[in-house]
Amino acid sequence: GAVVSQHPSRVICKSGTSVKIECRSLDFQATTMFWYRQFPKKSLMLMATSNEGSKATYEQGVEKDKFLINHASLTLSTLTVTSAHPEDSSFYICSATDRDRPYGYTFGSGTRLTVV
């Protein structure tokens, strides 16, 4: 089955630093990747949609300069949280899909980011 690998699973960083989260599709070509953020006991909030080779489409209220998304290849998308602040602490999850699977949302394992 389709597998999406997400790294790191946990990261602690200092305020003001940047953190990069990687999301890789291991056995399929991810034409589209989605990045979500999840607060405790809340559902997933879509941050942005990225298509391979093009700029990401950000949801309203999400700062594109703060959350940099790169989808340079069909198997890799990265989310970089720049100049992190404690309020950026959250659970970040990617999901990937390809055009050949009608319900092809496969989620990565998530990244727990803590900014201190």
Partner 1 sequence: GQNIDQPTEMTATEGAIVQINCTYQTSGFNGLFWYQQHAGEAPTFLSYNVLDGLEEKGRFSSFLSRSKGYSYLLLKELQMKDSASYLCAVRGNAGKSTFGDGTTLTVKP
User: Shortest gap between Cβ of 81 and partner 1 (angstroms)?
Assistant: 18
Nearer to partner 1 by Cβ, of 32 and 82: the residue is 32
User: Shortest gap between Cβ of 25 and partner 1 (angstroms)?
Assistant: 14
Q: How far apart are CA 72 and CA 114, in angstroms?
A: 26
User: Shortest gap between Cβ of 16 and partner 1 (angstroms)?
Assistant: 27
Q: How far apart are CA 19 and CA 88, in angstroms?
A: 11
Nearer to partner 1 by Cβ, of 76 and 98: the residue is 98
Give residue 13's identity as a one-letter amino acid code: C
What residues contact 26, with CB distance under 8 A and at least 6 apart?
Answer: 3, 4, 5, 75
Direct distance between the N- and C-terminal alpha carbons of the chain, in angstroms, rounded to an integer: 37
Per CB under 8 A, residues contacting partner 1 are 6, 32, 34, 41-46, 49, 91, 93, 97, 102-103, 105-110, 112
Nearer to partner 1 by Cβ, of 6 and 77: the residue is 6
Backbone angles phi, psi at 3, to 5 degrees: -130, 135
User: Shortest gap between Cβ of 83 and partner 1 (angstroms)?
Assistant: 26
